[in-house]
A and B are shown apart, each in its own frame.
Chain A
Amino acid sequence: MSVVAITRYGGRLSAYVLGIAYGAVKIIGVILVIATFNFILVHAAPGDPAQVIAGQSGAADETLLRQIRSAYGLDQPYLVQLASSLKKTLTLDLGYSYRQQRTVLSLLLERLPATLLLTGTAFILSLVFGTALGTIAGTRAGKWSDTFFTIVSLLLYALPVFWLGLMLVLLFSVQLNWLPPFGYVTVGVEMTAWQRIADIASHMVLPTLSLAAVYLAIYARLMRSSIIEVKQQDFIKTARAKGVTESRIVMHHLLRNAILPVITVAGMQAGAVVGGAVVVETVFAWPGLGRLIYDAVLQRDYPVMQGIFLVMSIVVIGLNLLTEAVYRMVDPRISVRSVR
């Protein structure tokens, strides 16, 4: 409420900052663990690690393999190799893709924005519309609008992402010819900046919808049950006994309390959204990390796989940290009572 003069984070600021700092420490720890896994991955793969790194196609000649051995220190003892690989990870030296003839870092940096754009939009869309639908259904529990939204969200939840994607393409691209069926931008056309943005947006519609559908259904279901639970609590009755209007009860008392479990689940799902991008990006030929990992797996391009593994983990941890920060903002009890 705006009417009472209070500073939102008064005494909690220090706890807040400390919580975030603690998260940052965690990130570095996790990065080191992932880098260790990456190291094991290459050494556990069958055959000569140098060949693994070069890509198991037999195309690599002896000179290249020797070059790789010395570049990766493969002639050194394991622990020395591990240490140097950790050091490389921390300095963002992610290696070289001999398949693509480029450094892994430049590959990732080129693909990351497209994936973040796609998954970020899908995530926000599903969260916003999911909670909105869930709120409508929950506050009208038992009425026809609730039944309708419940059925819709169940349907969305049940549809496989790739199937939904293909059906959307059939309808909106092939039949109606409204939207481009695949890709990121229209190639080979001169465009102004605004036209370009509009072009990318039109390319985004179908993949975003297919990716958002499942998560939207999850958040809607969750929000609905959470609203129904909170609705029965005494403080809602208190608000009513104060004479507060129904719309204010929903906006001010119901929503904020009901959204807590949705935030928790959304934080955990954020990683899954990035994972789900693999399917969608493949179906829609979206030039993101998902496509890259798909290709890298098929071609056994280990350095690229390692790099994506690392980047995706960092994205997921970052999203979890963000969730925690949001949770702390919404629920004042967290700073005092530990979440875990």
Chain B
Amino acid sequence: MTDEPLLAIENLSVSLPRGGDRQFAVENVSLAVRRNEIVCLVGESGSGKSITAHAVLRLLPPALHVAGGAIRFKDTDLATADEGAMRALRGGQISMIFQEPLSALNPLTRVGQQIAEAIVTHAGAKLYRSELDARVVELIAAVGLPDPPALARSYPFQLSGGQRQRIMIAIAMANEPALLLADEPTTALDVTTQKQILGLIRKLQAERGMGVLFITHDFGVVADIADRVVVMRNGCVVEQGTVDEVLRAPKNDYTKALIAAVPGGRPPTTHSQALGSDPLLEARGLNKVFASRQGAFRPVRRVPTVQDVALTLRPRETVAIVGESGSGKSTLARMVMRLIEPDTGSIDFDGVDFLKLKGAQLRAMRRKVQIVFQDPFAALDPRQKVGEAIARGPMTYGTPAVEAIADAKRLLARVGLKESAYERYPHEFSGGQRQRICIARAIALKPLVLVADEAVSALDVSVQQHILELLAELREEMNLAMLFITHDLRVASEIADRIVVMRRGEIVEQGETQSVFGAPQHAYTRELLEAIPGRSLFGRPHEPSANVCFA
């Protein structure tokens, strides 16, 4: 590692348009990336970390402008370089990869062509087609994808999320860049895929001696990949240093709070009363096959999503269903709610055969199981007052309006908002606040079972922590049983009494949280646990080492 910085950002400020909640998106930020090192830029949403990276390539949204400071890459000042010089650097000397691997690729163009475009754009001389093809295939092979020639001919929609992100990396690597900007490249991926992609970035970085500016909100990822860490908050750098300095002995209070908020490190929540013994909900032999037509003369494609699954939930118990995307965990939860009808199987819920119910009886049972969704932005009607969103449910079940409105206000206060929030609209609230509103809406119906479908996955860790605490409190107050669906084992370890591990529509392992994490029986469970980022530092949930990382 030489001391000469590859990228030096000095006192960078990026101004926000007038009328924002602050004047600068990024204020006086200084940081450096050297050759052959990975610098992690960490912070919560709105901290300005992504904007800093975009400013380097001058890819800021039109409303944002660099207001001051310098960005030096080797000998060029990127803040003042002309557009032609910037274009030569983009994708040539400096590459960037983004968070969403699907939307980051042109849906109408074969991935091979998209890689080729990056090569051709920066090729000095005209390339022969055979040469170009060979280079594309070589790049696809370098990012560890199978059958490169065939893969080059596929379209983005034919690839999985992990494969797409590998293609993005191949595009970024096309011209052997000196610097890679990676903007949350693994956030949208499953843990096992995330582990692979992190390994790939590490490998390519070491082979080529690249400097990497890696943006993430996940301290687990930081622990796995970073050489140095820069922590940002509200557009300012609050702390920077080597990964050991920052993670093991953070000096700044905000850094400490963020690290403490990383799920899986805290002791699990407990119950004040014993769990019930008779099952509240018992599902047996649930199956669901999704059929899709691919054209008039093609056979119908059948995708078994849930296969022969049995699930029990006792009163006051919290069961976490964990698994990767496509494992069928959401489908299972929706079948239990009868939002999706199972093909076969039976569900006994609160002493009734739930699947037999129709009409008014079914409607009466529906209020006993409520759901909180993942995306708090899409889960609320943007044109309905939040108070109404909460009060409408009880009102349709016959609660007088006056009472329902009073209840809604009380619930808003209970979930940590002001009663005056009743009259406001969803867009006036942050993601965490909206999720609180969604929780209030769900519990307004006084359900027996609350289904939380990735309810904290879209939130920052500090917000996530508060929502988990709120859910744990409500569970006690209202004697709620919870089905907690998550892809994040660290979160599951904190809130669940029992863990159900799903893979490809089947339950591969289930048991008490302690035993599943302490002594996983199935290879897949072990694989998932291995893939949890930051194990070197934070340890495995429920391991003695878990809480001593920065004592």
Contacts and interface: CB of A to CB of B under 8 A. Distances in A.
A182 to B, nearest CB: 45
30 contacts: A3-B116, A3-B127, A4-B129, A4-B136, A5-B130, A15-B295, A18-B296, A18-B297, A22-B296, A234-B98, A235-B103, A235-B107, A238-B98, A238-B168, A238-B171, A239-B117, A242-B117, A242-B171, A243-B90, A243-B91, A243-B121, A244-B117, A252-B117, A256-B108, A331-B107, A333-B155, A333-B157, A336-B158, A337-B157, A338-B293
Interface in B27-85: 57, 59
A22 B292 CA distance: 18
A100 to B, nearest CB: 41
A240 B153 CA distance: 22
B118 interface: yes
Contacts of B171: 238, 242
A38 B89 CA distance: 67
B432 interface: no
A4 B295 contact: no
A224 B452 CA distance: 40
A332 B114 CA distance: 15
A260 to B, nearest CB: 8
Contacts of B122: 243
A235 B105 contact: yes
B108 A3 contact: no
Nearest to A6: B153
Given A6-B153, A18-B297, A234-B103, A243 B59 contact: no
B297 A338 contact: no
Contacts of A239: 106, 117
Contacts of B152: 4
B116 A242 contact: no
Nearest to A331: B108
B92 interface: yes
B163 to A, nearest CB: 16
Contacts of A57: none
Interface string B105-137: 111111011001110111000010110110010
Given A5-B133, A333-B155, A244 B121 contact: yes
Q: Range of interface residues on chain B?
A: 35 or more
Nearest to B171: A242
A94 B153 CA distance: 50
Interface of A: 1, 3-6, 10, 15, 18-19, 21-22, 233-235, 237-245, 252-253, 256-257, 330-333, 335-338
Interface string B211-238: 0000000000000000000000000000
B295 A235 contact: no
A210 B81 CA distance: 50
B396 interface: no
A253 B298 CA distance: 31
B57 A1 contact: no
A234 B107 CA distance: 11
Given A6-B112, A233-B103, A241 B117 contact: no
Contact of B105 (A1, A6, A18, A238): A238
A4 B87 contact: no
B104 interface: yes
Interface in B494-543: none
B179 interface: no
B483 interface: no
B106 A253 contact: yes
A158 B243 CA distance: 64
Contact of A257 (B106, B120, B133): B106
B89 A243 contact: yes
A22 B121 contact: no
Contacts of A238: 98, 104-106, 168, 171
Of listed A5, A238, A331, residue having the most chain B CB within 10 A: A238
A237 B294 contact: no
Contacts of A237: 59, 98, 104
Closest 4 CB pairs of A and B: A242-B91, A243-B91, A243-B90, A234-B103
A257 B103 CA distance: 12
Interface of B: 57, 59, 87-92, 95-96, 98, 100, 103-110, 112-113, 116-118, 120-122, 127, 129-130, 132-133, 136, 152-153, 155, 157-158, 168, 171, 174, 292-298
Contacts of B108: 256-257, 330-332
Contacts of B174: 242
A6 B110 contact: yes
A4 B107 contact: no
A22 B113 contact: no
A235 B104 contact: yes
B234 to A, nearest CB: 24
A233 B104 CA distance: 8
Contacts of B294: 336-338
B104 A3 contact: no
Nearest to B100: A234
A19 B103 CA distance: 28
B185 to A, nearest CB: 12
A94 B105 CA distance: 53
Given A22-B295, A242-B174, A337-B157, 10 more contacts: A5-B129, A6-B110, A22-B296, A234-B104, A235-B105, A238-B98, A238-B168, A243-B92, A253-B109, A338-B295
A22 B296 CA distance: 7
Contacts of B88: 243
Nearest to B112: A4
Given A238-B105, A257-B108, A333-B157, A1 B113 contact: yes
Nearest to B168: A238
Nearest to B136: A4
Nearest to A332: B155
B160 to A, nearest CB: 15
Contact of A242 (B90, B133, B298): B90
B103 A3 contact: no
Contacts of B129: 3-5
A238 B87 CA distance: 12
Given A15-B295, A18-B296, A237-B98, A243 B87 contact: yes
Nearest to A232: B61
A241 B95 CA distance: 7
B544 to A, nearest CB: 43
B121 A257 contact: no
A164 B155 CA distance: 46
- Residue of A240, A253, A256, A257 ringed by the most chain B CB atoms within 10 A: A240
A245 B293 contact: no
Contact of B118 (A235, A242, A336): A242
A257 B127 contact: no
Contact of B107 (A19, A257, A335): A257
Contacts of B112: 4, 6
A10 to B, nearest CB: 7
B90 A241 contact: yes
A325 to B, nearest CB: 14
B298 A15 contact: yes
Nearest to A238: B104
A21 B296 CA distance: 10
A245 B292 CA distance: 40
Contacts of A335: 295
